[in-house]
């Protein structure tokens, strides 16, 4: 079974994808991490994330980079969102994601274009979202918990900037697939959101026979 989990930044899609993987016994790929690795490698190369050639050169980052805590930094998320605009970068990362999705037994992938581009044939697709204010509030609380001193307004501005870049790009923009379940987690706690996601996937799995 292939499960696609898409949604904007800080929507909770990563948490839901991991929990679905644990529940259904499936491996999980956080595809944002691949774009983060490219963004960070571009910086390590002293390249410019807005230049397609520099970003493409960073696509052969070493696998060990995927374990680097620096990939989780907000600044790396910003770099990821810039390199992900280039079609050549998306193409370079395409096959790796498709192979992960199509492995025997299935998989869970979370990202922006899983249900639309990487695995349009997924058995269950979720589009996880929440209002920008709620996403900024959550991200702010999480950052403060890590000791990062930042204002909610700054985080909200970043959420809006990333949304604009992710939905506005020409190649594989952030888009809800027509057959994806819309899961708005604004008024839901983690357990309620997860219960709704599991119920939906089980329903889809039953449909497969």
Contact set with ligand C5P (CB under 6 A): 9, 31-32, 35-36, 77, 80-81, 84, 111-113, 162, 166
**Closer of 31 and 41 to ligand C5P (Cβ):** 31
Residue closer to ligand C5P by CB (options 65, 205) is 65
Strand ordering across the sheet containing 107-111: 28-30, 107-111, 2-6, 124-129, 181-184
The smaller minimum CB distance to ligand C5P, of residues 45 and 75, is found at 75
In sequence order, which residues have a C-beta less than 8 Å from that of residue 85 and are 6 or more positions away? 165, 169, 171
DSSP calls for 146-159: TT----HHHHHHHH
Shortest Cβ 21–ligand C5P spacing (Å):
16
The nearer residue to ligand C5P, 74 or 184, going by C-beta atoms, is 74
Cα–Cα dist 21/29, whole Å? 9
Is residue 166 exposed (0-12), middle (13-18) or buried (19+ Cβ within 10 Å)? buried
Please state the closest distance from residue 119 (CB atom) to ligand C5P, in A: 11
Residue pair 117/101 in contact by the 8 Å Cβ criterion: no
Give me the phi and psi of 108, to 5 degrees please.
-115, 130
How far apart are CB 207 and ligand C5P at their closest, in Å?
25
The least distance separating ligand C5P from the CB of residue 25, rounded to whole angstroms, comes to 23
In the complex, minimum distance from the CB of residue 206 to ligand C5P, in angstroms, rounded to a whole number: 28
**Residues ≥6 apart with Cβ < 8 Å to 33:** 66, 71
Cβ closest to ligand C5P, residue 20 vs residue 80: 80
């Amino acid at each position: 079974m292939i499960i696609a989990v898409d949604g904007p930044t800080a929507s909770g899609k990563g948490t839901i994808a991991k929990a679905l993987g644990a529940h259904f016994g499936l491996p999980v790929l956080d595809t944002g991490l691949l774009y983060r690795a490219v963004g960070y490698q571009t910086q390590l190369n002293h390249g410019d994330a807005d230049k397609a050639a520099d970003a493409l050169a960073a696509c052969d980052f070493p696998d060990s980079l995927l374990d680097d805590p620096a990939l989780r930094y907000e600044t790396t998320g910003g770099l990821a969102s810039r390199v992900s605009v280039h079609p050549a970068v998306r193409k370079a990362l395409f096959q790796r994601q498709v192979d992960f999705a199509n492995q025997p037994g299935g998989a869970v992938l979370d990202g922006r274009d899983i249900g639309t581009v990487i695995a349009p044939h997924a058995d269950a697709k979720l589009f996880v979202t929440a209002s920008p204010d709620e996403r900024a509030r959550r991200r702010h609380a999480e950052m403060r918990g890590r000791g990062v001193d930042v204002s909610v307004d700054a985080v909200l501005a970043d959420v809006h900037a990333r949304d604009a870049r992710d939905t506005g790009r020409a190649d594989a923009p952030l888009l809800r697939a027509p057959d994806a379940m819309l899961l708005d987690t604004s008024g839901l706690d983690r357990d309620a959101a997860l219960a709704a996601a599991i119920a939906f996937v089980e329903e889809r799995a039953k449909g497969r026979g």
